[in-house]
Amino acid sequence: MKRALSAALLSRAAKPVLFLLCLAPLAWLVYAAVSNRLGANPAEALIRDLGDWTLRGLWLTLTITPLREVTGLAAVARFRRMLGVFTFFYASLHMLAYGWLDMGLALDDIANDIAKRTFILMGFTAWALMLPLAATSFNKAIKALGAKRWQALHKAAYAAAVIALLHFIWMRAGKQDFAEPAVYGALLALLLGWRVAKALRRSR
């Protein structure tokens, strides 16, 4: 079973399939927008759904290393970069949708909104943390930085996840709806706990 899974993950078709799967949410949102299936407030629905897919992508990206080590399927690591880049892609679309559909691309108003509303500041900060990670997700950047510095830089993904979670929690606070943020929080706690346990084992 493990050998068959490893062979499937290493196949030439694996990355194109993942690429199409990563594009599927965007394709659905475009279709839903064109066919008026986003509900009474399509702008809000689009912004929200793009944010949701950003969180899912970020959590999936952070799961790759634990999954590889727990299952012994080293081949899953080859998908981490694509998942990370797509996560930043959806985060950027989330930001663009907010800036365009909610703020009319008025830069002064956007800047004032970031300064005034904590959850918007958290979202912008999480995006800003992901920006250098996406910009250095290529082989030339890894070689230029060196493996150790590159790995240290990309640990910022955990900081981005914590801040993105805070953004989500504050966004839901107005409606007192914390069920979904609690699920994301529990998953992130498991991922961070795994990292801490691994670091403690190494120190011993």
Read off the pLDDT of residues 56-90 as tens digits, 9 standing for 90 and up. Answer: 999 999 999 999 988 888 899 999 999 999 999 99
Residue 141 has pLDDT above 90, yes or no: no
* pTM, to two decimals: 0.93
Round to whole Å and give the CA distance between 21 and 105. 30
Residue 155 has pLDDT above 90, yes or no: no
Residue 5 falls inside a structural domain: no
Helix segments in the chain, DSSP class H: 2-10, 14-34, 42-71, 80-97, 107-116, 118-135, 139-145, 147-154, 156-173, 179-203
Residue 9 falls inside a structural domain: no
Q: Position 184: which residue type?
A: Y
Local confidence band at 32 (pLDDT 50, 70, 90 cut-offs): very high
**Among 120, 134, 115, which Cα is nearest to 166's?**
120
Number of domains in the chain: 1
Domain coverage including residue 159: 42-64+79-203
CB 169 within 8 A of CB 183: no
Residue 53 falls inside a structural domain: yes
Residue 196 falls inside a structural domain: yes
**Among 193, 204, 202, 191, which Cα is nearest to 66's?**
191
Which position has the token pair 């997700």? 137
Identify the burial level of 87 via C-beta atoms within 10 angstroms of its C-beta, where 0-12 means exposed, 13-18 middle and 19 or more buried: buried
Residue 94 falls inside a structural domain: yes
pLDDT, position 10: 86
Residue 31 falls inside a structural domain: no
Q: Position 153: which residue type?
A: L
* 31 φ/ψ angles, rounded to the nearest 5 degrees: -60, -45
Identify the burial level of 6 via C-beta atoms within 10 angstroms of its C-beta, where 0-12 means exposed, 13-18 middle and 19 or more buried: middle
Residue 138 falls inside a structural domain: yes
Residue 72 falls inside a structural domain: no
Q: Position 141: which residue type?
A: A
